[in-house]
Amino acid sequence: MNPLLRFCNVSFGYGGLDVIQSANFDLQAGSCTALIGPNGAGKTTILRLAAGTLQCRSGNVILNDVPLRKLALRKVARTVALVPQQLDVPFQFTVREVVEQGRPGPGSRGCDRVATENLQRTERGRASAREDCAGPRAGTEAAAVG
C-alpha cells in the first residue's frame, strides 16, 4: 500500500542555515506519528513542509502519490491541516469552532464526514474544549493528515 504522505530526500533551510537534510519517511493512512526533539531541531519545519506552507530546497514531499509542488494549496488543505504552535483566539471559541473555520465549503464531498470524525476524536476525553483555546499555551503544534 502506498503511503498517504512521503518525504523523499527532503532538504530545507532558512537563508544559509540548513535545518532539514535528506529527510526520508512515510506516513500511512490512519497511523499516528510523533515528532520529538529539542528546540530548533526542525519539527515545526517538517510540519510546514508537509502542509505545503514551505517549499523544500531539494527532494519531494508526496501526498497521495502526487508531489506537493504540483498540487494547489487549496487541494492540499483538504487533506493536511496544521494548527499553529501559538494561536491567539480573540473570542472563547471551542476547539470544534476553531477547526470548523478552516473547513472546506459546501461541495467538498467526504470532507464533512472526515472532519467530524477527527473533531470527535479530538474532543473525546477533554474536560473542557474552551480551556484548550483560552487557557495557557502548551507550546505544541499539531498536524493532521488524512
- Tell me the per-residue pLDDT of 36-62, one tens digit each, with 9 for 90 and over: 999 889 999 999 999 988 999 999 999
- Quick check: 1 pLDDT over 50? yes
- Quick check: 130 pLDDT over 60? no
**pTM across the whole model:** 0.63
Contact present, 62 and 2 (Cβ < 8 Å): no
Cell numbers given for 69: 509542488
Indicate the pLDDT class of residue 95, thresholds 50, 70 and 90.
confident
- Lowest-pLDDT range, 17-21, 33-37, 120-124? 120-124
Average pLDDT score, the chain: 76
5-145 has which CATH code? 3.40.50.300
CB neighbour list of residue 121: distance below 8 Å, 6 or more residues apart: none
- Quick check: 19 pLDDT over 70? yes
Indicate the pLDDT class of residue 16, thresholds 50, 70 and 90.
confident
The string of DSSP codes covering the chain is ---SEEEEEEEEEETTEEEEEEEEEEE-TT--------TTSSHHHHHHHHHTSS--SEEEEEETTEEGGGS-HHHHHTTEEEE-SS---SS---HHHHHHTTS--TT-TTHHHHHHHHHHHHHTT-S-HHHHHHS------EEEE-
- Quick check: 137 pLDDT over 50? no
Q: How far is CA 82 from CA 86, 127, 144, in A?
A: 12, 23, 7
Indicate the pLDDT class of residue 7, thresholds 50, 70 and 90.
very high
- Quick check: 63 pLDDT over 80? yes
Q: What residue segments make up the domains of the chain, in order of their start?
A: 5-145
- Measured CA to CA, the distance from residue 79 to residue 115 in angstroms comes to 10
Residue with cell 493528515: 145
**pLDDT of the residue at 143:** 56
Apex 71 CA angle, 66 and 73, nearest 5: 135
- What's the full length of the chain, in residues? 146
- Lowest-pLDDT range, 81-85, 125-129, 142-146? 125-129
Ramachandran sector of residue 93 (left: φ over 0; alpha: ψ -120 to 50; beta: rest): beta
